[in-house]
Structure 1
Amino acid sequence: MSTIIYPAPIFGPIHSRRLGVSLGINLLPADGKFCTFDCIYCECGYNKDFRPKQKVQTREAVREALEKRLADMKENGPSPDVLTFAGNGEPTANPYFPEIIDDTLALRDKYFPNAKVSVLSNSTFIHNPKVFAALNKVDNNILKLDTVDPDYIQTVDRPTGNYQVKNIIEGLKAFNGNLIIQTIFLKGTTDEGKDVDNTTDKYVLPWLEAVKQIRPRQVMVYTIDRETPDQKLQKATHEELDRIVQLVKEAGIDASASY
Protein backbone atom coordinates (compact mmCIF):
# COMPACT_ATOMS: atom_id res chain seq x y z
CA MET A 1 0.00 0.00 0.00
CA SER A 2 1.04 3.62 -0.40
CA THR A 3 1.53 5.49 2.86
CA ILE A 4 2.14 9.11 3.76
CA ILE A 5 5.00 9.94 6.12
CA TYR A 6 5.05 13.70 6.61
CA PRO A 7 8.14 15.90 6.73
CA ALA A 8 8.89 17.61 10.02
CA PRO A 9 8.40 19.96 11.59
CA ILE A 10 6.55 21.90 8.87
CA PHE A 11 4.75 20.57 5.78
CA GLY A 12 2.43 22.00 3.17
CA PRO A 13 0.42 24.05 2.87
CA ILE A 14 -2.16 21.53 1.72
CA HIS A 15 -5.86 21.89 1.02
CA SER A 16 -7.81 20.30 3.85
CA ARG A 17 -11.33 19.00 3.19
CA ARG A 18 -12.44 20.44 6.51
CA LEU A 19 -10.13 23.39 7.22
CA GLY A 20 -9.10 25.06 3.94
CA VAL A 21 -5.49 26.13 3.15
CA SER A 22 -3.64 24.39 5.96
CA LEU A 23 0.01 24.69 6.95
CA GLY A 24 0.88 21.46 8.70
CA ILE A 25 2.94 21.18 11.88
CA ASN A 26 4.33 17.71 12.61
CA LEU A 27 5.73 17.44 16.13
CA LEU A 28 6.75 13.81 15.64
CA PRO A 29 9.78 12.23 13.98
CA ALA A 30 10.13 12.86 10.25
CA ASP A 31 11.18 9.30 9.49
CA GLY A 32 8.29 7.26 10.88
CA LYS A 33 5.08 7.02 12.86
CA PHE A 34 4.68 7.71 16.58
CA CYS A 35 1.13 7.24 17.81
CA THR A 36 -0.97 6.04 20.74
CA PHE A 37 -3.44 4.56 18.27
CA ASP A 38 -2.70 2.08 15.47
CA CYS A 39 -5.79 2.66 13.36
CA ILE A 40 -6.54 0.27 10.54
CA TYR A 41 -7.53 3.27 8.38
CA CYS A 42 -4.47 5.48 9.05
CA GLU A 43 -2.89 6.98 5.92
CA CYS A 44 0.50 6.75 7.69
CA GLY A 45 0.27 2.95 7.88
CA TYR A 46 0.74 0.64 10.85
CA ASN A 47 3.02 1.60 13.71
CA LYS A 48 5.09 -1.58 13.39
CA ASP A 49 5.96 -0.87 9.78
CA PHE A 50 7.27 2.66 10.30
CA ARG A 51 9.22 2.71 13.55
CA PRO A 52 11.08 6.03 13.67
CA LYS A 53 14.78 6.29 14.48
CA GLN A 54 14.73 10.06 14.93
CA LYS A 55 13.41 11.87 18.00
CA VAL A 56 10.33 14.07 18.34
CA GLN A 57 10.69 17.71 17.35
CA THR A 58 12.08 20.13 19.91
CA ARG A 59 10.39 23.38 20.84
CA GLU A 60 13.24 25.39 19.32
CA ALA A 61 13.23 23.47 16.04
CA VAL A 62 9.49 23.95 15.60
CA ARG A 63 9.56 27.64 16.45
CA GLU A 64 12.46 28.40 14.09
CA ALA A 65 11.04 26.40 11.18
CA LEU A 66 7.53 27.79 11.63
CA GLU A 67 8.69 31.40 11.74
CA LYS A 68 10.82 30.91 8.64
CA ARG A 69 7.89 29.40 6.73
CA LEU A 70 5.38 32.01 7.89
CA ALA A 71 7.73 34.85 6.94
CA ASP A 72 8.08 33.34 3.46
CA MET A 73 4.31 32.93 3.11
CA LYS A 74 3.81 36.52 4.24
CA GLU A 75 6.06 37.70 1.42
CA ASN A 76 5.23 35.20 -1.31
CA GLY A 77 1.90 33.61 -0.37
CA PRO A 78 -0.34 31.82 -0.03
CA SER A 79 -2.02 33.04 3.13
CA PRO A 80 -2.98 30.11 5.36
CA ASP A 81 -6.50 29.66 6.66
CA VAL A 82 -5.21 27.47 9.44
CA LEU A 83 -2.05 26.19 11.11
CA THR A 84 -2.76 22.53 11.80
CA PHE A 85 -1.01 20.21 14.24
CA ALA A 86 -1.16 16.79 12.60
CA GLY A 87 1.44 14.60 10.89
CA ASN A 88 2.93 11.21 11.75
CA GLY A 89 0.85 10.34 14.79
CA GLU A 90 -0.49 11.98 17.95
CA PRO A 91 0.75 15.59 18.31
CA THR A 92 0.01 15.86 22.02
CA ALA A 93 2.45 13.00 22.65
CA ASN A 94 5.28 15.47 22.12
CA PRO A 95 6.49 16.50 25.61
CA TYR A 96 6.96 20.09 24.45
CA PHE A 97 3.41 20.37 23.10
CA PRO A 98 2.12 23.01 25.58
CA GLU A 99 5.09 25.33 25.01
CA ILE A 100 4.92 24.84 21.24
CA ILE A 101 1.26 25.88 21.29
CA ASP A 102 2.23 29.15 23.03
CA ASP A 103 4.96 29.80 20.43
CA THR A 104 2.59 29.01 17.56
CA LEU A 105 -0.11 31.35 18.80
CA ALA A 106 2.44 34.16 19.13
CA LEU A 107 3.79 33.57 15.61
CA ARG A 108 0.28 33.35 14.19
CA ASP A 109 -0.55 36.70 15.76
CA LYS A 110 2.63 38.20 14.31
CA TYR A 111 2.28 37.00 10.71
CA PHE A 112 -1.31 35.90 10.00
CA PRO A 113 -3.60 37.04 12.83
CA ASN A 114 -6.70 35.92 10.93
CA ALA A 115 -5.49 32.32 10.62
CA LYS A 116 -6.81 29.69 13.01
CA VAL A 117 -4.71 27.25 15.00
CA SER A 118 -6.08 23.70 14.93
CA VAL A 119 -5.03 20.50 16.65
CA LEU A 120 -6.09 17.08 15.38
CA SER A 121 -5.84 14.74 18.36
CA ASN A 122 -7.02 11.24 19.25
CA SER A 123 -7.85 12.47 22.80
CA THR A 124 -5.47 10.09 24.60
CA PHE A 125 -3.60 12.87 26.47
CA ILE A 126 -6.52 15.12 27.40
CA HIS A 127 -6.23 14.12 31.07
CA ASN A 128 -2.75 15.66 31.23
CA PRO A 129 -3.41 19.10 32.81
CA LYS A 130 -0.81 20.89 30.66
CA VAL A 131 -2.15 19.34 27.46
CA PHE A 132 -5.71 20.14 28.50
CA ALA A 133 -4.79 23.78 29.13
CA ALA A 134 -2.96 24.06 25.81
CA LEU A 135 -5.87 22.59 23.86
CA ASN A 136 -8.18 25.12 25.47
CA LYS A 137 -6.07 27.93 23.98
CA VAL A 138 -6.35 26.96 20.30
CA ASP A 139 -9.09 28.01 17.90
CA ASN A 140 -10.03 24.50 16.77
CA ASN A 141 -9.57 21.83 19.42
CA ILE A 142 -10.49 18.82 17.27
CA LEU A 143 -10.73 15.62 19.30
CA LYS A 144 -11.47 12.11 18.07
CA LEU A 145 -14.33 9.91 19.24
CA ASP A 146 -14.92 7.24 16.58
CA THR A 147 -17.37 5.19 18.65
CA VAL A 148 -18.29 4.36 22.24
CA ASP A 149 -18.17 0.60 21.65
CA PRO A 150 -15.06 -0.86 23.37
CA ASP A 151 -14.79 -3.85 21.02
CA TYR A 152 -14.99 -1.61 17.95
CA ILE A 153 -12.30 0.65 19.40
CA GLN A 154 -9.97 -2.32 19.87
CA THR A 155 -10.68 -3.55 16.33
CA VAL A 156 -10.42 -0.25 14.45
CA ASP A 157 -8.57 2.38 16.53
CA ARG A 158 -6.37 -0.18 18.32
CA PRO A 159 -5.03 1.92 21.22
CA THR A 160 -1.47 1.05 22.20
CA GLY A 161 -2.06 1.71 25.91
CA ASN A 162 -4.88 1.64 28.44
CA TYR A 163 -7.90 3.32 26.81
CA GLN A 164 -11.19 3.52 28.67
CA VAL A 165 -13.82 5.21 26.53
CA LYS A 166 -15.88 6.23 29.58
CA ASN A 167 -12.88 8.14 30.93
CA ILE A 168 -12.30 9.73 27.53
CA ILE A 169 -15.91 10.93 27.41
CA GLU A 170 -15.55 12.47 30.87
CA GLY A 171 -12.39 14.20 29.72
CA LEU A 172 -14.15 15.55 26.65
CA LYS A 173 -17.01 16.85 28.77
CA ALA A 174 -14.48 18.79 30.87
CA PHE A 175 -13.83 21.15 27.94
CA ASN A 176 -17.31 22.59 28.52
CA GLY A 177 -18.06 22.80 24.82
CA ASN A 178 -14.69 24.24 23.74
CA LEU A 179 -13.99 21.41 21.35
CA ILE A 180 -14.92 19.86 18.03
CA ILE A 181 -15.64 16.13 17.92
CA GLN A 182 -14.25 14.34 14.87
CA THR A 183 -15.56 10.88 13.96
CA ILE A 184 -14.78 8.61 11.04
CA PHE A 185 -17.52 6.40 9.62
CA LEU A 186 -16.60 3.51 7.37
CA LYS A 187 -17.78 0.16 6.07
CA GLY A 188 -16.33 -3.07 4.79
CA THR A 189 -14.25 -5.50 6.81
CA THR A 190 -10.82 -5.86 8.32
CA ASP A 191 -8.33 -7.94 6.35
CA GLU A 192 -9.29 -10.81 8.70
CA GLY A 193 -12.94 -10.44 7.70
CA LYS A 194 -14.37 -8.67 10.75
CA ASP A 195 -17.21 -6.27 9.95
CA VAL A 196 -16.41 -2.61 10.72
CA ASP A 197 -19.56 -0.85 9.52
CA ASN A 198 -20.25 1.81 12.18
CA THR A 199 -22.90 3.68 10.15
CA THR A 200 -25.78 1.64 11.61
CA ASP A 201 -27.93 2.59 14.60
CA LYS A 202 -26.09 -0.02 16.70
CA TYR A 203 -23.09 2.31 16.70
CA VAL A 204 -24.52 5.70 15.74
CA LEU A 205 -27.17 6.04 18.47
CA PRO A 206 -24.91 5.32 21.49
CA TRP A 207 -22.26 7.59 19.97
CA LEU A 208 -24.90 10.30 19.53
CA GLU A 209 -25.87 10.02 23.20
CA ALA A 210 -22.22 10.54 24.17
CA VAL A 211 -22.00 13.55 21.85
CA LYS A 212 -25.07 15.03 23.52
CA GLN A 213 -23.37 14.66 26.90
CA ILE A 214 -20.15 16.24 25.65
CA ARG A 215 -21.95 19.17 23.96
CA PRO A 216 -19.14 20.15 21.57
CA ARG A 217 -19.51 23.33 19.57
CA GLN A 218 -19.34 21.24 16.39
CA VAL A 219 -19.14 17.67 15.13
CA MET A 220 -17.13 16.77 12.03
CA VAL A 221 -17.94 13.41 10.47
CA TYR A 222 -15.88 12.04 7.62
CA THR A 223 -14.92 8.86 5.85
CA ILE A 224 -11.74 7.38 4.41
CA ASP A 225 -10.18 9.43 1.63
CA ARG A 226 -6.83 7.75 0.96
CA GLU A 227 -5.47 4.22 0.78
CA THR A 228 -5.64 2.39 4.11
CA PRO A 229 -3.46 -0.30 5.74
CA ASP A 230 -6.38 -2.73 5.84
CA GLN A 231 -7.30 -3.22 2.21
CA LYS A 232 -10.97 -4.18 2.54
CA LEU A 233 -12.28 -0.98 4.15
CA GLN A 234 -14.91 1.00 2.27
CA LYS A 235 -16.14 4.57 2.33
CA ALA A 236 -19.38 5.47 4.02
CA THR A 237 -21.85 6.87 1.49
CA HIS A 238 -22.97 10.49 1.19
CA GLU A 239 -26.43 9.43 2.30
CA GLU A 240 -25.13 7.67 5.42
CA LEU A 241 -23.02 10.65 6.46
CA ASP A 242 -25.86 13.07 5.75
CA ARG A 243 -28.19 11.02 7.96
CA ILE A 244 -25.71 11.15 10.84
CA VAL A 245 -25.19 14.90 10.39
CA GLN A 246 -28.95 15.41 10.51
CA LEU A 247 -29.24 13.43 13.75
CA VAL A 248 -26.55 15.60 15.34
CA LYS A 249 -28.22 18.79 14.15
CA GLU A 250 -31.55 17.61 15.53
CA ALA A 251 -29.79 17.37 18.89
CA GLY A 252 -28.99 21.08 18.61
CA ILE A 253 -25.29 20.68 17.73
CA ASP A 254 -23.67 22.06 14.59
CA ALA A 255 -22.34 19.32 12.29
CA SER A 256 -20.70 18.87 8.91
CA ALA A 257 -19.61 15.98 6.71
CA SER A 258 -16.56 15.43 4.53
CA TYR A 259 -17.17 12.78 1.88
Structure 2
Amino acid sequence: MTVIYPSPIFGPVHSRRLGVSLGINLLPADGKVCTFDCIYCECGFNADHRPKQPLPTREEVRAALEARLQDMQANGPAPDVLTFAGNGEPTAHPHFPEIMEDTLALRDKYFPKAKVSVLSNSTFIHRPAVFDALNKVDNNILKLDTVDEAYIRVLDRPTGHYSVREVIEGMKAFKGNCIVQTMFLKGSRNGESVDNTSDRYVLPWLEAVKEIAPRQVMIYTIDRETPEHDLQKATHEELDRIAALVREAGITVSVSY
Protein backbone atom coordinates (compact mmCIF):
# COMPACT_ATOMS: atom_id res chain seq x y z
CA MET A 1 0.00 0.00 0.00
CA THR A 2 1.31 3.47 -0.88
CA VAL A 3 1.72 5.75 2.11
CA ILE A 4 0.90 9.42 1.53
CA TYR A 5 3.15 11.45 3.78
CA PRO A 6 1.35 14.36 5.45
CA SER A 7 4.29 16.64 4.70
CA PRO A 8 4.02 17.39 0.96
CA ILE A 9 1.05 19.77 1.36
CA PHE A 10 0.90 22.39 4.09
CA GLY A 11 -1.54 25.28 4.15
CA PRO A 12 -3.45 27.14 2.90
CA VAL A 13 -1.81 30.09 4.58
CA HIS A 14 -1.79 33.82 3.95
CA SER A 15 1.57 34.75 2.49
CA ARG A 16 2.98 38.25 2.88
CA ARG A 17 4.00 38.21 -0.77
CA LEU A 18 1.65 35.79 -2.53
CA GLY A 19 -1.85 36.04 -1.05
CA VAL A 20 -3.76 32.84 -0.12
CA SER A 21 -1.08 30.25 -0.74
CA LEU A 22 -1.35 26.49 -0.74
CA GLY A 23 2.14 25.51 0.32
CA ILE A 24 3.72 22.39 -1.13
CA ASN A 25 6.75 20.90 0.60
CA LEU A 26 8.71 18.27 -1.33
CA LEU A 27 10.48 17.01 1.77
CA PRO A 28 9.60 14.53 4.52
CA ALA A 29 7.91 15.82 7.66
CA ASP A 30 10.88 15.11 9.90
CA GLY A 31 13.59 17.18 8.23
CA LYS A 32 14.82 19.35 5.40
CA VAL A 33 17.15 19.11 2.45
CA CYS A 34 18.76 22.37 1.38
CA THR A 35 21.98 23.64 -0.18
CA PHE A 36 21.81 26.72 2.08
CA ASP A 37 22.08 26.70 5.87
CA CYS A 38 20.74 30.25 6.30
CA ILE A 39 21.13 31.86 9.69
CA TYR A 40 17.70 33.49 9.27
CA CYS A 41 15.75 30.38 8.27
CA GLU A 42 12.86 29.89 10.68
CA CYS A 43 13.09 26.16 9.94
CA GLY A 44 16.44 26.02 11.74
CA PHE A 45 19.89 24.95 10.64
CA ASN A 46 20.25 21.94 8.35
CA ALA A 47 22.48 20.09 10.80
CA ASP A 48 19.61 20.11 13.30
CA HIS A 49 17.02 18.81 10.85
CA ARG A 50 18.44 15.93 8.83
CA PRO A 51 15.51 13.92 7.46
CA LYS A 52 15.15 10.32 8.53
CA GLN A 53 12.33 9.45 6.13
CA PRO A 54 12.80 9.17 2.36
CA LEU A 55 11.65 12.01 0.14
CA PRO A 56 8.02 11.70 -0.95
CA THR A 57 7.78 10.27 -4.44
CA ARG A 58 6.32 12.00 -7.45
CA GLU A 59 3.22 9.84 -7.14
CA GLU A 60 2.81 10.64 -3.43
CA VAL A 61 3.10 14.36 -4.04
CA ARG A 62 0.60 14.23 -6.88
CA ALA A 63 -1.92 12.21 -4.85
CA ALA A 64 -1.60 14.47 -1.80
CA LEU A 65 -1.90 17.62 -3.91
CA GLU A 66 -4.95 16.38 -5.82
CA ALA A 67 -6.67 15.38 -2.58
CA ARG A 68 -6.07 18.84 -1.09
CA LEU A 69 -7.21 20.62 -4.26
CA GLN A 70 -10.39 18.54 -4.34
CA ASP A 71 -11.05 19.48 -0.71
CA MET A 72 -10.44 23.17 -1.41
CA GLN A 73 -12.70 23.01 -4.46
CA ALA A 74 -15.47 21.61 -2.29
CA ASN A 75 -14.92 23.60 0.89
CA GLY A 76 -12.68 26.57 0.05
CA PRO A 77 -10.82 28.77 0.17
CA ALA A 78 -9.76 29.01 -3.45
CA PRO A 79 -5.98 29.44 -3.57
CA ASP A 80 -4.37 32.42 -5.27
CA VAL A 81 -1.16 30.48 -5.70
CA LEU A 82 0.33 27.00 -5.29
CA THR A 83 3.70 27.65 -3.68
CA PHE A 84 6.69 25.32 -3.64
CA ALA A 85 8.89 26.42 -0.76
CA GLY A 86 8.68 25.31 2.84
CA ASN A 87 11.22 23.36 4.78
CA GLY A 88 14.13 23.17 2.34
CA GLU A 89 15.00 23.61 -1.34
CA PRO A 90 12.26 22.33 -3.70
CA THR A 91 14.50 22.05 -6.76
CA ALA A 92 16.71 19.59 -4.86
CA HIS A 93 14.02 16.91 -5.24
CA PRO A 94 15.23 14.45 -7.90
CA HIS A 95 11.80 14.50 -9.58
CA PHE A 96 11.19 18.23 -9.35
CA PRO A 97 10.66 18.68 -13.13
CA GLU A 98 8.08 15.88 -13.28
CA ILE A 99 6.33 17.21 -10.17
CA MET A 100 6.03 20.59 -11.89
CA GLU A 101 4.34 18.92 -14.86
CA ASP A 102 1.85 17.23 -12.52
CA THR A 103 1.22 20.43 -10.57
CA LEU A 104 0.51 22.51 -13.65
CA ALA A 105 -1.91 19.87 -14.92
CA LEU A 106 -3.73 19.68 -11.57
CA ARG A 107 -3.86 23.46 -11.32
CA ASP A 108 -5.43 23.65 -14.76
CA LYS A 109 -7.98 21.03 -13.74
CA TYR A 110 -9.08 22.43 -10.38
CA PHE A 111 -8.07 26.10 -10.09
CA PRO A 112 -7.01 27.41 -13.50
CA LYS A 113 -6.80 31.00 -12.21
CA ALA A 114 -4.26 30.10 -9.52
CA LYS A 115 -0.58 30.74 -10.13
CA VAL A 116 2.21 28.23 -9.54
CA SER A 117 5.18 29.72 -7.70
CA VAL A 118 8.54 28.20 -6.87
CA LEU A 119 10.83 29.87 -4.32
CA SER A 120 14.35 28.65 -4.99
CA ASN A 121 17.82 29.50 -3.73
CA SER A 122 19.06 29.30 -7.35
CA THR A 123 21.63 26.57 -6.76
CA PHE A 124 20.16 24.08 -9.27
CA ILE A 125 19.18 26.41 -12.10
CA HIS A 126 22.22 25.22 -14.06
CA ARG A 127 20.53 21.83 -14.50
CA PRO A 128 18.67 21.86 -17.83
CA ALA A 129 15.61 19.97 -16.56
CA VAL A 130 15.27 22.26 -13.52
CA PHE A 131 15.77 25.34 -15.70
CA ASP A 132 13.10 24.18 -18.16
CA ALA A 133 10.65 23.40 -15.34
CA LEU A 134 11.13 26.80 -13.71
CA ASN A 135 10.60 28.46 -17.09
CA LYS A 136 7.12 26.92 -17.23
CA VAL A 137 5.78 28.07 -13.85
CA ASP A 138 4.01 31.40 -13.37
CA ASN A 139 6.36 32.76 -10.72
CA ASN A 140 9.97 31.63 -10.90
CA ILE A 141 11.29 33.29 -7.72
CA LEU A 142 15.07 33.13 -7.36
CA LYS A 143 17.14 34.14 -4.34
CA LEU A 144 19.98 36.63 -4.53
CA ASP A 145 20.59 38.14 -1.08
CA THR A 146 23.75 39.98 -2.12
CA VAL A 147 26.58 39.74 -4.63
CA ASP A 148 29.25 39.80 -1.92
CA GLU A 149 30.32 36.17 -1.75
CA ALA A 150 31.97 36.53 1.67
CA TYR A 151 28.70 37.89 3.04
CA ILE A 152 26.74 35.06 1.45
CA ARG A 153 28.95 32.58 3.30
CA VAL A 154 28.03 34.28 6.58
CA LEU A 155 24.33 34.79 5.89
CA ASP A 156 23.19 32.01 3.54
CA ARG A 157 26.02 29.56 4.31
CA PRO A 158 26.04 27.46 1.09
CA THR A 159 26.75 23.82 1.88
CA GLY A 160 28.38 22.98 -1.45
CA HIS A 161 29.82 24.72 -4.48
CA TYR A 162 28.51 28.26 -4.84
CA SER A 163 29.52 31.02 -7.21
CA VAL A 164 27.72 34.37 -7.31
CA ARG A 165 28.82 34.89 -10.89
CA GLU A 166 27.46 31.51 -11.96
CA VAL A 167 24.15 32.22 -10.24
CA ILE A 168 23.83 35.60 -11.95
CA GLU A 169 24.59 34.04 -15.36
CA GLY A 170 22.00 31.35 -14.64
CA MET A 171 19.41 34.00 -13.80
CA LYS A 172 20.23 35.96 -16.95
CA ALA A 173 19.53 32.85 -19.00
CA PHE A 174 15.82 33.14 -18.11
CA LYS A 175 15.75 36.32 -20.23
CA GLY A 176 13.50 38.18 -17.82
CA ASN A 177 11.24 35.24 -16.96
CA CYS A 178 12.14 35.32 -13.29
CA ILE A 179 11.60 37.21 -10.06
CA VAL A 180 14.59 38.07 -7.88
CA GLN A 181 13.93 37.82 -4.15
CA THR A 182 16.29 39.39 -1.63
CA MET A 183 16.30 39.30 2.14
CA PHE A 184 17.52 42.48 3.84
CA LEU A 185 18.25 42.40 7.54
CA LYS A 186 20.43 43.79 10.29
CA GLY A 187 21.97 42.63 13.54
CA SER A 188 24.95 40.35 14.05
CA ARG A 189 26.19 36.78 14.17
CA ASN A 190 29.03 35.90 16.53
CA GLY A 191 29.67 39.60 16.98
CA GLU A 192 29.96 40.19 13.20
CA SER A 193 27.52 42.57 11.50
CA VAL A 194 25.11 41.07 8.98
CA ASP A 195 23.59 44.40 7.92
CA ASN A 196 23.18 44.32 4.13
CA THR A 197 21.04 47.47 3.88
CA SER A 198 23.92 49.90 3.27
CA ASP A 199 25.15 51.06 -0.14
CA ARG A 200 28.18 48.81 0.26
CA TYR A 201 25.89 45.86 -0.40
CA VAL A 202 22.86 47.45 -2.06
CA LEU A 203 24.56 49.20 -4.99
CA PRO A 204 26.52 46.17 -6.32
CA TRP A 205 23.38 44.05 -5.84
CA LEU A 206 21.38 46.59 -7.82
CA GLU A 207 23.87 46.44 -10.70
CA ALA A 208 23.48 42.65 -10.76
CA VAL A 209 19.70 43.01 -10.76
CA LYS A 210 19.92 45.37 -13.75
CA GLU A 211 22.09 42.79 -15.51
CA ILE A 212 19.60 40.00 -14.81
CA ALA A 213 16.66 42.22 -15.87
CA PRO A 214 13.95 40.23 -14.04
CA ARG A 215 10.29 41.06 -14.49
CA GLN A 216 10.05 41.81 -10.77
CA VAL A 217 12.10 42.11 -7.61
CA MET A 218 10.77 41.09 -4.19
CA ILE A 219 12.51 42.59 -1.19
CA TYR A 220 11.62 41.61 2.33
CA THR A 221 12.99 41.13 5.83
CA ILE A 222 12.82 38.49 8.53
CA ASP A 223 9.31 37.80 9.79
CA ARG A 224 9.60 35.00 12.33
CA GLU A 225 11.93 33.70 14.99
CA THR A 226 15.30 32.67 13.58
CA PRO A 227 17.94 30.21 14.83
CA GLU A 228 20.29 33.19 15.30
CA HIS A 229 18.73 35.39 17.95
CA ASP A 230 20.79 38.54 17.32
CA LEU A 231 19.21 39.25 13.95
CA GLN A 232 17.00 42.28 13.43
CA LYS A 233 14.45 43.42 10.87
CA ALA A 234 15.38 45.96 8.27
CA THR A 235 13.26 49.05 8.87
CA HIS A 236 10.40 50.20 6.64
CA GLU A 237 12.48 53.23 5.69
CA GLU A 238 15.48 51.13 4.68
CA LEU A 239 13.38 48.78 2.56
CA ASP A 240 11.56 51.69 0.95
CA ARG A 241 14.88 53.33 0.07
CA ILE A 242 16.11 50.17 -1.63
CA ALA A 243 12.80 49.72 -3.43
CA ALA A 244 13.03 53.27 -4.76
CA LEU A 245 16.44 52.50 -6.27
CA VAL A 246 15.00 49.46 -8.04
CA ARG A 247 12.08 51.48 -9.40
CA GLU A 248 14.49 54.15 -10.64
CA ALA A 249 16.15 51.38 -12.65
CA GLY A 250 12.82 50.70 -14.34
CA ILE A 251 12.14 47.37 -12.61
CA THR A 252 8.92 46.47 -10.82
CA VAL A 253 9.46 45.88 -7.11
CA SER A 254 7.34 44.72 -4.19
CA VAL A 255 8.18 45.21 -0.51
CA SER A 256 7.20 43.02 2.44
CA TYR A 257 7.95 44.47 5.85
Q: Could you tell me the TM-score, scaled by structure 1's length?
A: 0.97
Q: Residues of 1 paired with 2:142 and 2:65: CA distance? A: 23
Partner SS for 1:136:
helix
Corresponding position of 1:120: 119
Q: Residues of 1 paired with 2:196 and 2:10: CA distance? A: 32
Partner SS for 1:63:
helix
Corresponding position of 1:86: 85
Q: Residues of 2 paired with 1:47 and 1:103: CA distance? A: 28
Query: Which residue type is aligned with residue 214 of structure 2?
Result: P
Corresponding position of 1:111: 110
Report Cα offsets for 1:117-139 as digits up to 9, x if no partner. 00000000000000000000000
- Runs of 4 or more above 4 Å deviation: none
Corresponding position of 1:137: 136
Q: Residues of 2 paired with 1:130 and 1:8: CA distance? A: 24
Q: Does 1:188 align with 2:182?
A: no
Q: CA deviation at 1:56?
A: 1.3
How many residue pairs get matched? Answer: 253
Q: CA deviation at 1:55?
A: 1.3
Q: Residues of 2 paired with 1:249 and 1:57: CA distance? A: 41
Q: Residues of 1 paired with 2:30 and 2:87: CA distance? A: 9
Q: CA deviation at 1:29?
A: 1.7
Report Cα offsets for 1:65-101 as digits up to 9, x if no partner. 1001101100110000000001110000000000000
Partner SS for 1:189:
strand
Corresponding position of 1:204: 202
Partner SS for 1:75:
helix
Matches within 5 A, 1:35-114: 35-114=34-113
Structure 1: runs of 5 or more not aligned:
1-6
Partner SS for 2:104:
helix
Corresponding position of 1:170: 169
Contact 1:57 1:94 in 2 (8 A): no
Partner SS for 2:136:
coil
Corresponding position of 1:159: 158
Q: Residues of 2 paired with 1:131 and 1:64: CA distance? A: 22
Query: Which residue type is aligned with residue 180 of structure 2?
Result: I
Partner SS for 2:186:
strand
Contact 1:140 1:180 in 2 (8 A): yes
Q: CA deviation at 1:170?
A: 0.3
Identity of aligned pairs, percent? 77
Query: Which residue type is aligned with residue 245 of structure 1?
Result: A
Q: Residues of 2 paired with 1:157 and 1:215: CA distance? A: 23
Corresponding position of 2:240: 242
More displaced stretch, 22-31 vs 196-205: 22-31
Report Cα offsets for 1:125-159 as digits up to 9, x if no partner. 00000000000000000000000001100000000
Report Cα offsets for 1:191-220 as digits up to 9, x if no partner. x11100000000000000000000000000
Q: Could you tell me the TM-score, scaled by structure 2's length?
A: 0.97
